[in-house]
Chains A and B, each alone.
Chain A
Amino acid sequence: MTAQESAMRSKEKSSAPETELIDIGEQARLSARRHERIMSFASPLGLLLLWEIAGRLGLNDVRFFPVPSTIIGMMIGMIMSGELIEHVLISLQRIVLGFLLGGIPAILIGITMGISRPVRALIDPLIVATYPIPKSAILPFILLIFGLGEMSKVVMVAIGVFFPVAINSTAGVLQIAPIYLDVGKSFKASRWDIFRTIALPGALPFIMTGIKLGAGLALILIAVAEMVGAKSGLGYMIWSAWETFAVAKMYVGLFTIALIGFGISFLLREVERLVIRWKVDA
């Protein structure tokens, strides 16, 4: 709720000089948003509750499906011992680095493709040809090139993030009304200025969609990469739990990944709201 409060405050600040211009729909929109947020927390919690009840009633086998309370107990223990934190931090580090390594070139290349026909003609076939390859299938290749160290994990995430962000950035530029580019040209905007003031902000809603898709892929790929070629991280933790039949620990790993996924998408939604405030309903 604090993020929302601060968003409200900044909104008030920005419209301070024109106090007469109060948006009547504002209150209604805010309360609708609060409702949506409560609901998005309610459904996963409800599911956990059902699971707990089913386990306690003996409806499912707790050796394979330990109840959430057992898993959470295990989780707390692993947090206390520092083991979980360590795995989480290393996975997050790989995800963040991979996001930067894949996302920044993806935005630059994607937007350039959107602006320039020749660049699009040159690069589009490469993307079309490589995009359908399942990213998990190239893990051996990546291990071959980058070895078992950190780089192979970061590269896997980067590859996952690159495609949706690049493709959406291009689409985002292409849907910008041509008149805005005419305006840029008529004011003698340089290529860099057109990129910076028109293509990037105009494509931003699409780019954010690409980033959200990329985040999902990043989580999948980091887990796969860590299962095969790592000695740390959540993927490794889940895999070694399976190998030692530590079922509850395996679930802790799954829970943690789910939580991270939830956290990332929550974060990205807030970021999206901030960066595309100019959209009618953002």
Chain B
Amino acid sequence: MTAAANQAPRRPVKIRIHHLIKRFRDLVAIDDVSLEIEEGTFFAIVGPSGCGKTTMLRILGGLETVTSGAVEIADPAPGRPQYSIIFQGDSIFPWMTVWDNAAYGLRMRKAPKAEVDASVSHWLERTGLTRYARLYPHQLSGGMRQRVSIARAFANDPEVLLMDEPFSALDEQNRTILQQELLRIWEVDKKTVVFITHSVDEAVTLADKIMVMTASPGRAKTIIDVTLERPRNVLELRNDPRYGRIVYGIWGHLKDEVEQARL
């Protein structure tokens, strides 16, 4: 009894993927993936390029249909959106100011103006963008633009955040800074996150659980628990021997896949 109680308490399942298959014509992108993600989990998916991880996220985000199987995100509380997506690369609208970009999700769901203003100014503050609110994206650096994208997703206050390699276009310094900021923001209210990345380090740094995918066709190879405690410090983690062991372990799973993908 006590042993079971010491284990992490089971939380309700937020996202359920059931025998998901996705084919593009003859190409099998995702081959029979089943998965349950509990509420409040930071869930990372890593795999070699072409393993269908972005496709999986796009299916979760309703931007792609399933060939067979099902994906399901638990219904949100009334008045809250189910999910927001943080996209890879530049996705904020160049024709809107930082403020209007951050307000986009709220405005699309017709939130009252007072709520829009409060939420946007809160999230611009949290992402360090307050003084850039009136600028257009072309006046910002790549790192700043991705901050806007993060502010836009969080300001919408969804129950689930879907992130598709959000930092892959950034240089290493910016990536490290934004990873730390994401952790800082996320650790406050711990929304359920699905985070796609090809970087093992990034996955271990950020996630509670990591699913390793096989190369094309994409299958779930294994799921690893990252037991590093929170709050985490991105820099200190790298000096933690447990971090090294987890990264090394994942590479063991990935090695064959990467080589196979190359053939």
Interface positions of A (Cβ within 8 A of B): 14-15, 17-18, 21, 23, 179-180, 182-190, 193, 197-198, 201-202, 204, 276-280
Do B62 and A185 have beta carbons less than 8 Å apart?
yes
Q: Give Cα A23–Cα B139 distance, bound, in whole angstroms.
A: 9
B48 at the interface (CB under 8 A from A): no
Chain B proximity of A27: nearest CB distance (Å): 16
Q: Enumerate chain A residues within 8 angstroms of B167, measured Cβ to Cβ.
A: none
Report A-chain residues with C-beta under 8 Å of the C-beta of B132.
18, 21
Return the contact of B108 from the options A17, A193, A277 (Cβ within 8 A). Answer: A193
Kindly list chain A residues whose C-beta atoms are within 8 Å of the C-beta of B93: 180, 183, 197-198, 201-202
Chain B: residues with Cβ within 8 Å of the partner, total of 29
Q: In the bound complex, how far is the Cα of B94 from the Cα of A280, in angstroms?
A: 9
Bound complex: CA of A18 vs CA of B132, how far in Å?
7
B interface list, Cβ under 8 A from A = 61-63, 81, 83-85, 87, 89-91, 93-96, 104-105, 108-109, 131-139, 156
A187 touches B108 (CB 8 A): yes
B131 touching A179 by the CB < 8 A rule?
no
Distance in Å: Cβ of A261 to nearest Cβ of chain B: 29
Which A residues are CB-close (under 8 A) to B135? 15, 18, 21
Q: Which residue of B lies closest to A280 (CB)?
A: B138
Closest partner residue, chain B, to A19 (CB atom)? B131
Q: Which of B62, B91, B93, B109 has the most CB of A within 10 A?
A: B93
Inside 8 A of B91's CB, which chain A residues have their CB?
Answer: 179-180, 182-183
**Interface of chain B, main secondary structure:** loop
A-B contacts, 24 of them at CB < 8 A, read: A21-B131, A21-B132, A179-B87, A179-B89, A179-B91, A180-B91, A180-B93, A182-B87, A182-B91, A183-B91, A186-B84, A187-B109, A187-B156, A188-B109, A197-B96, A198-B93, A201-B93, A202-B93, A202-B95, A204-B95, A276-B95, A277-B136, A278-B95, A278-B137
Pick the contact of A278: B83, B104, B136 (CB < 8 A): B136
Give complex CA distance A198, B100 in Å: 12
Please name all residues of chain B whose beta carbon is closer than 8 Å to the beta carbon of A190 when the two chains form the complex: 108
Q: Which of B81, B138, B139 contacts A188 (CB 8 A)?
A: B81
**Bound form: Cα–Cα A180–B95 in Å:** 11
Q: How far is the CA of A232 from the CA of B12 in the complex (A)?
A: 78
Closest 4 CB pairs of A and B: A201-B95, A186-B85, A278-B136, A187-B108
- Asked whether, in the complex, the Cβ of A188 is within 8 Å of the Cβ of B108, the reply is yes
Contact A17 B63 (CB under 8 A): no
- Contact partner of A182 among B63, B105, B108, B137, CB < 8 A? B63
8 Å CB contact of A279 from B131, B133, B134, B138: B138
Contact yes or no, A187 B89, CB < 8 A: no
B61 partner, pick from A21, A186, A202, beta carbons under 8 A? A186
A180 to chain B, nearest CB (A): 6
- Within the complex, what minimum Cβ distance (angstroms) separates A41 from chain B? 30
Please tell me if the beta carbons of B131 and A18 are within 8 angstroms of each other in the complex.
yes
